[in-house]
């Protein structure tokens, strides 16, 4: 390593893989963990203490659906005590009355609710959950009534890309502070469902104009973040802000990972919290050091003036498309495989659209081909 390893700033805690929804774009791994593999309350508390000692400033409490953990208030309370900013990332369904208030009292700082569609039919179809839309709206109202700031997260794909104006109206109606228009990243279940989810180029180009216009029009009223679609990009995004650079994630069983899809990279060995301290894992884990900084890069990244801007893009996307995690992300125009992105768009948008492989515990590992259809 040529660079000193700085402390991490952010952590994503996947408290559970259990979830009432079954979204076909879920970023969780295909091999979902059952409840009996989840870390106990004391282990999470100990991990959070070590995260605070290590310098982590904000923790995203996610899943699956984190509110399925009955100890969520205890976890939030400890994080609040340690001065860590907490963001609850929830699907917003099945949350008992008064729970959002309880979490606010425990010290929760912020809530992000994902909407699968801007209208009820889309939300129900994508999440495969009846009445999900109305339940989410109710949760969003409870969040605002409890005084917490709200972000609406809109994962975008072929089936809802035309609903962006309606997503904007929904975020305004719900008094959200922020709307995240996030084009789906094709890893995990989204990779399995790529042919069904990929929008076409005309829809993507139209979307860019709609979002840009809304960002200007609503400046100072609603912050709109735009996560652009990698397959249509010229340069890649700095995935996770760069591998093991300022953030990491923890799976429900305590496995500590540089990113949510790192488990798809063969040959990397991931440490489990408890067997090693968080500080040891952050600084010395071979998986964290595998793609840290720029020393690992080959050409064209090695001599590129953007290498400390995007850090070579996404290692997991390089693995999925180039078959080599150390390759330049094919989203980059300088990658020799960049044309493959256009070919994959073409294949997906002309394939007729297979049925969704809905996210279910136990079903992912039997459906590894991205374009096969669900029975």
Among all chains, which residue has been given the structure tokens 């374009």?
371
Residues 190-249 that bind ligand SF4 (CB under 6 A): 235-236
The residue within the footprint of ligand SF4, chosen from 300, 322, 338, 367 (CB under 6 A), is: 300
Cβ closest to ligand SF4, residue 14 vs residue 310? 310
* Cβ atoms within 10 Å of 343's Cβ, excluding its own: 10
Shortest distance, position 192 Cβ to ligand SF4, whole Å: 25
Q: Does 184 bind ligand SF4 (CB under 6 A)?
A: no
Binding test (CB under 6 A) with ligand SF4, winner from 45, 148, 329, 357: 329
| Binding residue for ligand FES, selected from 11, 148, 297, 314, defined by CB under 6 A | 314
Rg of the chain (C-alpha set): 20
- Answer for which of 106, 244, 261, 287 binds ligand FES (CB under 6 A) is 261
Q: How far apart are CA 29 and CA 34, in angstroms?
A: 12
Nearer to ligand SF4, 56 or 301 (CB): 301
Say whether 282 sits in a helix, a strand or coil: helix
With a CB cutoff of 8 Å and minimum separation 6, the contacts of 163 are 117, 118, 119, 122
Task: Tell me if 327 contacts ligand FES by CB under 6 A.
Answer: no
Residue closer to ligand FES (CB basis): 27 or 67:
27
Told to check if 344 binds ligand FES by CB under 6 A, we report: no
Q: Is 239 near ligand FES (CB under 6 A)?
A: yes
Of ligand SF4, ligand FES, none, which one does residue 316 interact with (CB within 5 to 8 Å by kind)?
ligand FES
Cβ neighbours for 40, distance < 8 A, ≥ 6 positions apart:
none
Number of residues in contact with ligand SF4 under rule CB under 6 A = 14
Omega cis (within 30) before 253: no
Return the structure tokens found at 309: 């801007």
Which residues, at least 6 apart from 112, have a Cβ–Cβ distance to it below 8 Å? Answer: 60, 87, 88, 89, 90, 150, 151, 152, 153, 180
State the minimum distance, in angstroms, from the CB of residue 309 to ligand SF4. 7
Residue number, 140 or 240, with CB nearest to ligand FES: 240
For position 297 contacting ligand FES by CB under 6 A, the verdict is no
Asked if 186 and 317 count as a contact pair (C-beta separation under 8 A), the reply is: yes
> Are 143 and 150 in contact, with CB atoms under 8 Å apart?
yes
| Contact footprint for ligand SF4 (CB under 6 A) | 235-236, 300-301, 304, 306-307, 310, 312-313, 328-329, 332, 334
């Amino acid at each position: 390593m040529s660079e000193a390893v700085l402390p991490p700033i952010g952590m994503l805690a996947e408290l559970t893989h259990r979830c009432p929804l079954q979204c076909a774009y879920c970023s969780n791994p295909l091999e979902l963990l059952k409840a009996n593999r989840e870390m106990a309350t004391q282990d999470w508390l100990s991990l959070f203490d070590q995260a605070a000692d290590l310098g982590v400033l904000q923790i995203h409490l996610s899943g699956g659906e984190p509110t399925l953990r009955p100890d969520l208030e205890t976890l939030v309370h400890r994080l609040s005590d340690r001065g860590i900013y907490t963001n609850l990332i929830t699907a917003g369904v099945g949350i008992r009355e008064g729970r959002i208030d309880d979490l606010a009292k425990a010290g929760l700082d912020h809530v992000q609710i994902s909407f699968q569609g801007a209208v009820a039919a889309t939300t129900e179809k994508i999440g495969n959950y009846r009445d999900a839309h109305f339940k989410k709206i109710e949760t969003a109202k409870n969040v605002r009534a409890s005084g917490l700031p709200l972000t609406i997260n809109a994962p975008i794909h072929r089936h809802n890309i035309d609903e962006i104006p309606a997503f904007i109206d929904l975020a305004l109606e719900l008094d959200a502070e922020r709307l995240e228009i996030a084009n789906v990243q094709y890893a995990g279940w989204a990779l399995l469902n790529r042919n069904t989810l990929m929008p076409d180029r005309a829809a993507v180009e139209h979307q860019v104009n709609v979002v840009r216009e809304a960002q200007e029009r609503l400046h100072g009223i609603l912050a709109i973040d735009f996560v652009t679609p990698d397959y249509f990009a010229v340069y890649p995004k700095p995935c996770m802000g760069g591998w093991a650079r300022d953030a990491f994630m923890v799976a429900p069983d305590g496995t500590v990972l540089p990113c949510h899809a790192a488990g798809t990279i063969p040959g990397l060995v991931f440490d489990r919290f408890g067997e090693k301290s968080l500080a040891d894992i952050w600084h010395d884990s071979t998986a964290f050091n595998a793609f840290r900084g720029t020393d690992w890069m080959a050409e064209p990244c090695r001599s590129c003036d953007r290498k400390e801007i995007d850090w070579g893009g996404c290692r997991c996307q390089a693995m999925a498309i180039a078959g080599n995690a150390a390759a330049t992300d094919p989203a980059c125009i300088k990658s020799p495989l960049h044309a493959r992105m256009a070919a994959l768009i073409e294949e997906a948008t002309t394939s007729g659209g297979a049925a969704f492989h809905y996210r279910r515990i136990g079903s992912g590992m039997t459906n590894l081909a991205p374009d096969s259809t669900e029975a």
